[in-house]
């Protein structure tokens, strides 16, 4: 259950649990005392206006940035006790822009497993590409991909690490309408099929409603509201 | 023309320096017309360079008459100064001075030490200091180029570096391409100097040796020796520098510290 820990006391075994997470840059507190927990297979959408700290919060979850105070528990282990590389393999991330590495699509998909000495086979690459709707793209150069295709490759690259949690930072906001629909439907399918635990940052409340079962509303780095999607949206309508 | 106007060596030297400086300032003014503002930096560098070389020249005259250890002391001071100068090319990179001083010290310092021990560089101060300073100066330039290129590459590819980290890559792996390109590009001037030796340019050391009566063949061979030493010390400096700096741009928790200013 996605909750603020302050409202429910000790939650049931959560895969991801934030406790009083704060991050200050210079004199500005960009993430301010955020606590929530997320159980397996739940999808949490983080919504809020620009500059509210959505992406900053997401970057704290896989420790790309360091919290100023507070911490995150991954499978009930303080993530500062886990080697960063190991943590990031389990908590995958898809960014707004795909940032693919120069080379072929297959090389991009093989990158993650190769970091821990594993080789993703040709069949493994093909399976992943089929899952993201890009069969036969294995040998394609990344310079010949459209925006939507590149984002699908980025998603497949993150999945190649078999993560337990997938973080997505505005994965469709840099795409045109058609590509956006395709990638969103793919995300929905992957969330459903894989039973992945996801944290999705979006500025689009409608997209949050379509993809997530829980919503966290951020404003100025603080949690304004958190709960099941229908409840949060209903409460927002009544304001 | 200047020789006919100025009779004393000092006034001739100053007039030649003024003409050369005027030429450099003209270039800075031309650059300004194209929106490239180098004039302040050029002016400061010219004044500072002249003051430094005159001061060092005066000190050298005194030191060259001193005991042998003064040569080592002078070269060590040059390494520290070179480290501070080239670290400025790595603005915003943590530990740039320390990395530069280590890199130039181990690159140029080790080549000077080994070559002096083998007798390739005469251990007399009159030979050790000028040749050593050439190696240090070139190592400094190479180090500056390597750090500057590495900084630019990382800042231009923050997304790619963090994507690699997010996929479980080691920090060294996430910047490996940029370490390689920085190393390669920093050595271009040293490689080009070696390639064009005797064809495009006849370096000052060789001209000086010829003027002081050395046999032309020995002067030519020794010039090659100096350039090969420059290449070796520059290469070693760049190698050490790029290896050390890559760990400086990450936190202990493997987070990228070098980010564009908001």
- The domain limits of chain A are 5-103+147-237
Last residue of a domain, one of B63, B93, B111: B63
State the maximum Cα–Cα separation within chain A, in Å, rounded to a whole number.
53
Domain count, chain B: 2
Kindly state the average pLDDT of the residues A110-127: 94
One domain for residues B89 and B182? yes
Question: Measuring CA to CA, which residue among B180, B188, B185, B178 is closest to residue B155?
Answer: B178
Edge-first strand order for the sheet with A43-47 is: A91-94, A165-169, A197-201, A43-47, A214-219, A222-228
Please give the residue that has the higher pLDDT: either A60 or A3: A60
Residue B91's Cβ-count burial label (10 Å; 0-12, 13-18, 19+) is exposed
Angle at B97 between CA B94 and CA B101, to 5 degrees: 140
List the 95-154 stretch of A: residues with Cβ below 8 A of B. 95, 97, 99, 101, 111-112, 115-116, 154
Q: Does B173 touch chain A (CB under 8 A)?
A: yes
In-domain check, residue B228? yes
Mutation choice for A interface testing from B160, B163, B171, B175 by most A CBs within 10 A: B163
What ipTM is given for this predicted complex?
0.91
- pLDDT the model gives residue B197: 75
Whether B256 maps to a domain, the answer reads no
pLDDT, tens only, B153-199: 999 999 999 999 999 999 999 999 999 999 999 999 888 888 887 77
Q: Give the pLDDT confidence of A14-42 residue by residue, as tens digits.
A: 899 999 999 999 889 999 999 999 998 89
Taking a C-beta distance cutoff of 8 angstroms, is the pair B112, B81 a contact?
no
Beta carbons of A116 and B168 less than 8 Å apart: yes
Percent of chain A with pLDDT over 70: 93
Task: Let me know whether B38 and B134 are in one domain.
Answer: no
Phi, psi (rounded to 5 degrees) for A134: -130, 55
Phi and psi at residue B169, to the nearest 5°:
-75, 150
**Interhelix angle A105-115/A122-131, nearest 10 degrees:** 110
Which of A84, A86, A99 lies closest to B163 in CB terms? A99
Write the burial class of residue A16 (CB in 10 Å: 0-12 exposed, 13-18 middle, 19+ buried): buried
**Angle between helices B188-195 and B216-248 in degrees, nearest 10:** 170
Q: How many helices (H) and strands (E) does chain B have?
A: 12, 0
Distance CA B51, CA B46 (A): 9
Q: Is residue B206 part of a domain?
A: yes
Output the pLDDT for position B13.
80
Instruction: Say yes or no for a CB contact (<8 Å) between B164 and A101.
Output: yes
Please indicate if any CB of chain A lies within 8 Å of the CB of B58. no
What is chain B's alpha carbon radius of gyration, rounded to the nearest angstrom?
A: 21
Boundaries of domain holding B14: 1-63
Query: CB count, 10 Å around CB of B5?
Result: 9
Run of H or E including B173 = helix B171-174
Chosen for mutation from B154, B168, B260 (greatest number of chain A CBs closer than 10 Å) is: B168
Predicted local confidence at residue B192, as pLDDT: 86
Category of B241 on φ-ψ map: left (φ > 0), alpha (ψ -120 to 50) or beta? alpha
Domain boundary among B45, B63, B81: B63
Angstrom distance (rounded) from CA B240 to CA B109: 12
Of B20, B44, B63, the residue at which a domain comes to its end is B63
Q: pLDDT tens, A120-172?
A: 999 999 999 998 889 999 999 999 999 899 999 999 999 999 999 999 999 88
Task: Kindly report the nearest CA distance between residue B169 and chain A, in angstroms.
Answer: 6
Confirm whether B114 is domain-assigned: yes
Q: How many CB pairs under 8 A join A and B?
A: 61
pLDDT < 70 positions in chain B: 200-203, 205, 262
Task: Flag if B164 and A64 touch (Cβ within 8 Å).
Answer: no
CB-based contact, B251 to chain A, within 8 Å: yes
Chain-chain contact of B253 with A84 (C-beta, under 8 angstroms): yes
Q: What is the pLDDT of residue A177?
A: 81
Q: What is the CB neighbour count within 10 angstroms for residue A84?
A: 22
Please judge whether B168 and A157 are an interchain contact, meaning their C-beta atoms are less than 8 angstroms apart. Answer: no
Say how far apart CA A105 and CA A101 lie, in whole Å. Answer: 9
- Does domain A5-103+147-237 fall under CATH 3.40.50.2300? My reply is no
Calculate the average pLDDT of chain A: 89
| Domain match, B98 and B190 both | yes
Q: Which residue of B has its CA nearest to A112?
A: B167
Nearest chain B residue to A157, by CA:
B167
């Amino acid at each position: 259950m996605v909750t603020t820990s302050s409202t429910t006391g000790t939650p049931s075994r959560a895969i991801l649990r934030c406790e009083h997470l704060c991050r200050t840059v210079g004199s500005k507190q960009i993430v301010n005392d955020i606590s929530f927990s997320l159980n397996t297979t739940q999808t949490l959408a983080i919504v809020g206006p620009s500059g509210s700290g959505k992406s900053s919060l997401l970057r704290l979850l896989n420790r790309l940035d360091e919290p100023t105070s507070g911490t995150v528990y991954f499978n009930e282990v303080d993530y500062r006790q886990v080697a960063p590389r190991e943590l990031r393999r389990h908590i995958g991330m898809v960014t707004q822009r795909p940032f693919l590495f120069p080379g072929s699509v297959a090389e991009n998909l093989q990158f993650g497993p190769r970091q821990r000495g594993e080789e993703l086979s040709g069949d493994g690459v093909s399976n992943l590409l089929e899952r993201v709707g890009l069969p036969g793209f294995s040998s394609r150069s990344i310079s010949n991909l459209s925006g939507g295709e590149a984002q699908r490759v980025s998603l497949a690259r993150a999945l190649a690490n078999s993560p337990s949690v997938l973080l997505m930072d505005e994965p469709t906001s840099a795409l045109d309408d058609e590509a956006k629909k395709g990638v969103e439907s793919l995300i929905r399918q992957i969330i459903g099929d894989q039973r992945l635990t996801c944290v999705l940052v979006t500025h689009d409340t409608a997209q949050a409603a379509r993809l997530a079962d829980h919503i966290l509303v951020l404003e100025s780095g603080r949690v304004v509201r958190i709960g099941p999607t229908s409840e949060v949206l209903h409460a927002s309508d009544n304001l | 023309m200047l020789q006919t106007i100025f009779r004393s060596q000092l006034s001739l030297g100053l007039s030649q320096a003024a003409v050369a400086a005027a030429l450099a300032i003209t270039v800075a003014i031309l650059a300004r017309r194209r929106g490239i503002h180098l004039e302040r930096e050029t002016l400061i560098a010219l004044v500072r360079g002249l003051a430094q070389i005159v001061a060092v020249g005066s000190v050298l005259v005194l030191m060259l008459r001193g005991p042998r250890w003064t040569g080592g002391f002078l070269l060590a001071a040059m390494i520290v100064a070179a480290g501070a100068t080239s670290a400025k090319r790595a603005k915003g990179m943590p530990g740039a001075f320390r990395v530069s001083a280590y890199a130039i010290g181990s690159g140029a310092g080790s080549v000077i030490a080994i070559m002096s021990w083998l007798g390739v560089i005469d251990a007399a101060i009159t030979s050790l200091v000028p040749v050593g300073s050439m190696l240090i100066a070139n190592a400094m330039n190479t180090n500056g180029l390597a750090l500057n290129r590495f900084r630019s590459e990382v800042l231009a590819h923050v997304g790619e570096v963090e994507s690699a980290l997010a996929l479980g890559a080691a920090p060294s792996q996430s910047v490996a391409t940029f370490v390689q390109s920085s190393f390669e590009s920093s050595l271009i001037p040293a490689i080009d100097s070696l390639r064009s030796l005797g064809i495009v340019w006849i370096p000052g050391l060789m001209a000086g040796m010829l003027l002081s009566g050395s046999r032309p063949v020995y002067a030519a061979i020794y010039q090659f020796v100096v350039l090969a030493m420059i290449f070796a010390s520059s290469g070693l400096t760049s190698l050490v520098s790029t290896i050390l700096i890559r760990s400086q741009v990450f936190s202990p928790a493997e987070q990228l510290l070098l980010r564009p200013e908001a």
